[in-house]
Amino acid sequence: MLTRGYGGPLRYVQGPGVLKDLGGYAAGLGQKALLLMDPFVDQTYGDALRASLAAAGVETVATRFNGESTEAEVARCAALAQGCGVVIGVGGGKTLDTGKIAAREAGARIITVPTIASTDSPTSSIGVIYTEDGVYVRVERCYRNPDVVLVDSEVILKAPVRFLAAGMGDALSTWYEARSNFESRSNNYIADGYAVTIAGAQIARACHDTLMRDGRAAYLAAKAGCLTEAVENIIEANTLLSGLGFENCGVSGAHGVHDALTILEPTHHFFHGEKVAFGIICLLVLENRPLPEIEEAVRFCAFLGLPVRLSDLGLADVSDADLLRVGEEAMKPTNVIHSVHRDLTARGIAHAIRTASTIAEQILAG
C-alpha cells in the first residue's frame, strides 16, 4: 500500500468584514510582523491593517510588493522578515507566494490575506518564482501551509469581476487535473509527495461540483456588486477547495500548458487562471475525453469570458513553429504536464493546443 498524505492551512476564515480581525490572528503567532502588501492594497487598506495589528500589540514592518515573485524580491522580503515572528502577505497570488517563501527563509509563521479570488495560492505550501518579465521559472516548496488564511468577502467583491472569473478558471482545473494524477498514480504535493487521500479526492470533486452549480450565478451577482450565497460559495471554491484540491491531488496538463505558454509574450497580459482555463481544454484534448465533456468546459469558460481559443490569448496568428516551441517547453522534465497518463511529445502537445482552439471555435460558432 502506498503511504497517503494530506495537508492544509491551520485556519481558514471567510466572511464580510473579517479583515479587521487580522491583529488578533497575528498576535497569536508573533509579536512582530512583516506586512507585505500590493501597492493598491497599501493605499486602500494599509491604515486599517496597521491599526488592527497595533491594537493587538503587534509591531509592524511594512513594505510594498514589487510586482513579480522573483528571486530578488523574495530575498528582499526575507531580509526584512528577519526577527519577525510572522509574515503577512496581503494581495494577489504573487504577493502571497513571495510572502510564503520569504517566511520560510526567515523561519517565520505565515498569514495570507487574499484581496482577490483569482488563484488558489492562499492556502498552499508552495510558491512560484517568475522572472522580472513574468516567465515561469520554478515552484518552491515551503513545507508548511499558512497558519491562517483570512478572506474578507467584501474586499473580494470590490475587485473587478474578471479576477473572480479567472479564479474559477484556475479552480475548474482542480478536478480534471486530479483525475490525471489518479490515472498516472502521481504523488501529490504534500512534503515531497504522497498518494492521494480520500479526503483530498473528495475536496477536488466538491470544487468542481460547486463551480458547476454556482459559478454562473456567482459571476452575474458579483458583476452587479451583490454578495450572495453563490458568491461566497465560489470564493470558497476558488480559494479553499481549489487550494486543498490541487495540493492534495496534484496538477497536470492544464497548468503544464499554462507554464509553457508563458514563453510567448502576448500571454503575459492575461491572468494565471485565464491561461489555465485554456489549458483545461488542451488537457481534455490530450486525454481524448468525450466531446460533451469538452463542450461543457468550453461553454462554462466562455460564459465567464475566459479564454478557450488561441485568439482569446492574443495568439490568433501564432505559427506552428511557435506552438512547437511551447510543446518543447512543456516537455522539459520539470513541467507538470508529465502527470498526464499518455505518451507525450512536443509535436503532440502543439497539435493538442491547436486542436483545442479549433474545437472551441466550432462549439461557440454552433
Environment class of 77 (CB within 10 Å of its CB; exposed 0-12, middle 13-18, buried 19+): buried
- Let me know if 208 is a catalytic residue: no
Cβ density class 143-165: b for 16+ within 10 Å, e for less: ebbbbbbbbbbebbbebebbbbb
Catalytic residue among 255, 259, 312, 338: 255
Cβ density class 303-323: b for 16+ within 10 Å, e for less: ebebbbbbebbbbeebeeeeb
In order of 34, 259, 332, 358, the CA distances from 251 in angstroms are 31, 12, 16, 24
Span between the terminal Cα atoms of the chain, in Å? 48
- Let me know if 170 is a catalytic residue: yes
- Let me know if 272 is a catalytic residue: yes
Residue 142 and residue 96 in contact, taking contact as beta carbons nearer than 8 Å: no
Closest CA to 118 of 146, 95, 144: 95
Helices (H) and strands (E) counted in the chain, each on its own, are: 14, 8
How big is the CA angle at 123 (ends 106 and 60), to the nearest 5 degrees? 40
Amino acid at the residue 206: A
Catalytic residue among 38, 120, 170, 312: 170
Greatest distance between any 2 Cα atoms in the chain: 61
DSSP line for 117-181: -S-SGGG-SEEEEE-TT--EEEEEE-SS--SEEEEEHHHHHHS-HHHHHHHHHHHHHHHHHHHHH
Cβ density class 24-59: b for 16+ within 10 Å, e for less: ebbbebbebbbbbbbeebbeebbeebbebbeebebe
Catalytic residue among 120, 208, 259, 272: 272
Tell me how crowded residue 331 is: count the other CB atoms within 10 A of its CB.
18
Catalytic residue among 38, 208, 258, 312: 258
Distance, CA of 228 to CA of 226 (rounded, Å):
6
Altogether, the residues listed in the chain come to a count of 366
- Let me know if 255 is a catalytic residue: yes
Residue 182 and residue 290 in contact, taking contact as beta carbons nearer than 8 Å: no
Active site residues: 170, 255, 258, 272
